[in-house]
Amino acid sequence: MSTPTLAEAETLLAELTAKMRPHVTPQTGLIGIVTGGAWLAERLHSNLGLAVPFGTLDVSFYRDDFQRKGLKRKVKPSAIPFDVEGRDLILVDDVLYTGRTIRAAMNELFDYGRPARIRLAALVDRGGRELPITAQFAGAIITVDAHDSIELTRDASGKLSLVMQKP
């Protein structure tokens, strides 16, 4: 697949929803990683008709590069409004790259309890893994130069867009 354009995020969200639908139950817990993953979790929750409210994680304090990079300006509290103990969870992120954000998210999730299973959904898997982490559900798998970045944005009406940033 080619590099995503601004208009493709909504299409990829529809594809991701279709891939996930056969694998969730109304009791599946959906948890989005702040910010892009939280936006996606909100939309996926609605699209999939899940009974359990979705949660959000801000993994800033769990990152392995916290000492080197410091905190982002807008750290948000994590909010998981359901018991994770024994529950099937789907962790949602916008762009899967090195796997370090997902590792941090899993570390934080286990502070809430021991889920039965954690699966990963990403709008875009751009490759470049540094850890052995893979998405079970991906809207698209693409190749992006290591120096480039992909960012998910959301406008005032809630419309999602992907933005490619080159150095």
Does some domain include residue 73?
Answer: no
pLDDT for 72: 58
Q: Report DSSP state, residue 7.
A: T
Q: How many angstroms separate the CA atoms of 90 and 24, rounded?
A: 9
Biggest CA–CA distance in the chain, Å, is 43
Does some domain include residue 123?
Answer: yes
Does some domain include residue 39?
Answer: yes
Nearest C-alpha neighbor of 32 from the set 119, 90, 76, 96? 90
pTM over 0.85: yes
Does some domain include residue 136?
Answer: yes
Q: Whose structure tokens read 């990963």?
A: 120
Residue 129, number of CB atoms within 10 A of its CB: 15
Dump the DSSP string for 75-131: ----B--S--TT-EEEEEEEEE-SSHHHHHHHHHHHHH---SEEEEEEEEE----SS
Boundaries of domain holding 88: 8-68+78-165
Nearest C-alpha neighbor of 29 from the set 79, 75, 77, 63? 79
Structure tokens at 70: 């410091």
Does some domain include residue 122?
Answer: yes
CATH number at residue 110: 3.40.50.2020
Does some domain include residue 161?
Answer: yes
Ramachandran sector of residue 57 (left: φ over 0; alpha: ψ -120 to 50; beta: rest)? beta
Domain tally for the chain?
Answer: 1
**pLDDT string in tens for the chain (167-residue length):** 444 444 489 999 999 999 999 999 999 999 999 989 999 999 999 999 999 999 999 998 787 765 555 555 577 789 999 999 999 999 999 999 999 999 999 999 999 999 999 999 999 999 999 999 999 999 999 888 888 889 898 999 988 888 888 87
Does some domain include residue 91?
Answer: yes
Does some domain include residue 60?
Answer: yes
